[in-house]
A and B are shown apart, each in its own frame.
Chain A
Amino acid sequence: MAVTLYHWEPNANSGKPMLTLAEKGVAYESRYLDLLQFDQHKPDYLAVNPDGTIPAMVHGSRVLTESTPMMEYIDDEFAGPPLKPRDPAARWRMRWWMRYFDAYFAPSLSMIGWSIFIGPAARHRPPEELRAAIERIPLESRRVAWRKALFNEFSAEELAESKRRVLIATLALEQHLGRYEWIAGDSYSLGDINGFNLGYALPLSQPDHCNDTKTPHIMEWLRRIYERPAARATWSKGRTQMSERIKNLERQPKAPNA
């Protein structure tokens, strides 16, 4: 059965199945959707995923639309190196942290990202065109999010709270990676794939909180994932400047007398 993946840039939810498929060595047909052109709300795509969220994966007659359970499906269904630990406690830890990334860290980080990047990047069109685009969004929760981003309706309190949460989550992750080499424990897993998609640009977007002095374990973890061939191959599929940010993780050569 053929695999088709509908995705945007290798980033956040889209990058999760992209990197998982690459790690497993699964070939797939790539269908790139431009989030900023609202491709995900157009009829062709709504026929695949009526919720209009990305990514979506089609495997034969099966349609998968939730990115984190999608990663577990890819690992369960296909041959290739296992991306879940065998030990049940380590699996639980992997899943706990994926939920923390998905439901706490990522929404706070993306609220900041949408207010300073997604909103301004899509806002140059006439307001009536933007309003019509919002009306086509199937899920109410996504309509609210896009309305806030496009019309810059994030309150100062909301943004301050998101910044507070990003700092708390960064410190928690640093503490966790001080205890364990990888998210699940002693082996690379879906938890690291999830966390990398969330965090590869943290040193650039949060330079005061995420750097070699304050979060050395996060920095080392990000660089170790960046050095994996699957990560390089996945981020090379990016079409915008966004995916270029990964190059910031290149290790700097040490000075000769250091």
Chain B
Amino acid sequence: MLELYTSEPNTFFLKPLIALAEKQAAFTTRYFDAANLDQFAAGFPTDLEAGLQLEREGPLLLHDGTLISSSFFMLEYISEGLPGRSLMPAEPFDAYRARAWGQFLGANLGSGVTVLGAAKYLRPHLATLDPDWVERRIAAIEPIERRAGWLALRNGTYTEAYLQTVRDRLAAPIMRVEKALKQGPWLAGSEFSVADIDAYPMLCVLPDLASALVNPAASPRIMEYLGRIAARDSVRAARSTARTKNPEQQFVPGVEASRWG
């Protein structure tokens, strides 16, 4: 039994949808509305790992009783645990590069992307909800690391100066990806892999959220890379699961930024 708990196909919710489509796996979708905090309602599946996971939000994959959380490792699990072609490069050094990209972009790109997206799209949405209801829902979120991102949005603590700092910090990881794409069409090895499935959902929203950094003049290879991935059958299938008109505008607070400043 394979069940995917997921929301609109954007950011980390998009990743396993693409991987499962690449594998042509049969699964049941358990859809929830992340922007309305359904993932914190009573009865939502959780365990020690899902409760402590560092993405704070995101998809869950329930496979034969095991609850898989944390989106990059979910991709590796889908690659190794389900039939079909491996999504991990076969050569060990390419596999290393895929995992190193996952770690680097998760820390340096993922946290910034979710902050920018949530500030632009989720904050106005939260303002349309009943404040008392939002207050109660947020107060019930455990542990407090998960609550912090929602509180910052509700309280409006993301100033424009802070958001500009977040944008500025994206420049280095974006340039690293642009440079890597000079070496070949994919991030790790000669084939489309988990590295690309992981990177794509974080990068494809940047022409909107950080347009000065990701555009045809500043990052032509990234733009071309995004176009090639968007045309894949698996990505089209993943996007077709959307229930709103603008899934690319659906964000949750997501990964916490480094506490070291």
Residues of A in contact with B (beta carbons under 8 Å apart): 62, 64-66, 68-70, 72-73, 76-77, 88-89, 91-93, 95-96, 99-100, 102-104, 107-108, 111, 140-141, 144-145, 148, 158, 161-162, 168, 172, 175-176
Stretch at the interface among B61-69, B152-160, B218-226: B61-69
Give A93 to B49 CA distance when docked, in angstroms.
9
The answer to whether B76 and A91 touch across the interface, beta carbons within 8 angstroms, is yes
Determine the distance from Cα of A141 to Cα of B102 in the docked complex, in whole angstroms: 18
> Is the Cβ of B96 less than 8 Å from the Cβ of A73?
yes
A88 to B82 CA separation, bound complex (whole angstroms): 9
Known: A66-B99, A77-B92, A100-B52. A107 touches B260 (CB 8 A): yes
Residue of A nearest to B108 (CB): A141
Q: Which residues of B contact A108 (CB under 8 A)?
A: 259
Q: Which of A66, A73, A92, A140 contacts B93 (CB 8 A)?
A: A73
Within the assembled complex, what's the spacing in Å between the Cα atoms of A70 and B103?
Answer: 12
0/1 per residue, B66-105, Cβ < 8 Å to A?
1011100110110011000000000011011001101110
Most chain B CB within a 10 A radius of its CB, from A69, A73, A77, A102: A69
Report the separation of the CA atoms of residues A92 and B54 in the bound assembly, to the nearest whole angstrom: 15
Contact of A66 with B69 at beta-carbon distance under 8 Å, contacts A73-B93, A103-B54, A176-B48 already known? no
- Of B54, B74, B258, B259, the residue contacting A100 (CB under 8 A) is B54
Chain B residues with CB below 8 A from A72, complex form: 95-96, 99
Other contacts beyond A107-B258, A145-B261: 20, CB < 8 A:
A66-B103, A66-B104, A68-B99, A69-B96, A69-B100, A73-B95, A88-B80, A88-B81, A91-B80, A92-B77, A96-B49, A99-B73, A100-B49, A104-B52, A140-B169, A140-B172, A141-B258, A141-B261, A168-B143, A172-B48
Contact A99 B70, beta carbon cutoff 8 Å: yes
Pick the residue among B48, B93, B103, B260 that contacts A175 (CB under 8 A). B48
Whole-angstrom distance between the Cβ of A152 and the nearest chain B Cβ = 14
- B220 smallest CB distance to A (angstroms): 24
**Residues of B bordering A, CB below 8 Å:** 48-49, 52-54, 63, 66, 68-70, 73-74, 76-77, 80-81, 92-93, 95-96, 99-100, 102-104, 107, 143, 169, 172, 258-261
Residues on the B chain within 8 Å of A148, using CB:
260-261
Query: Would you call A95 and B73 a contact (CB within 8 A)?
Result: yes
Majority-rule SS of B interface residues: helix
Complexed CA–CA distance, A77 and B94 (Å)? 11
In whole angstroms, what is the CA distance A162 to B261 when docked?
13
Please provide the 8 A-B residue pairs with the shortest distance between their CB atoms, ordered closest to farther. A88-B81, A69-B99, A76-B92, A73-B96, A66-B100, A144-B261, A77-B92, A88-B80
Task: Select which of A91, A95, A111 is within 8 A of B260 by beta carbon.
Answer: A111
Of all chain B residues, the one with the shortest Cβ separation from A75 is B92
Distance (whole angstroms) from the CB of B57 to the closest CB of chain A:
15
Q: Say how far B197's CB is from chain A's closest CB, in angstroms.
A: 16
Contact of A107 with B96 in the complex, beta carbons under 8 Å: no
Nearest-Cβ distance from residue B173 to partner chain A, whole angstroms = 11
- In the docked arrangement, what's the CA distance between A69 and B92, Å? 10
A-B contact pairs, 27 of them (CB 8 A): A65-B100, A66-B96, A66-B100, A68-B99, A69-B99, A73-B96, A76-B92, A77-B93, A88-B80, A89-B63, A89-B68, A91-B80, A92-B74, A92-B76, A92-B77, A92-B81, A99-B73, A100-B52, A104-B52, A107-B258, A107-B260, A144-B261, A145-B261, A172-B48, A172-B52, A175-B48, A176-B48
In the complex, the chain B residue whose C-beta lies closest to that of A93 is: B49
Docked pose: A108 CA to B54 CA in angstroms: 14
List chain A residues, Cβ under 8 A from B104: 66
Given contacts A68-B103, A69-B103, contact A76 B95 (CB under 8 A): yes
Residue of A nearest to B168 (CB): A140
- B100 close to A95 (CB less than 8 A): no
Q: How far, in whole Å, are A102 and B72 apart by their CA atoms in the complex?
A: 15
Residues on the A chain within 8 Å of B107, using CB: 103
A108 to B260: give the CA distance in the assembly, Å. 9
The answer on a CB contact under 8 Å between A161 and B259 is yes
Specify which of B54, B77, B143 is in contact with A88 (CB 8 Å cutoff).
Answer: B77
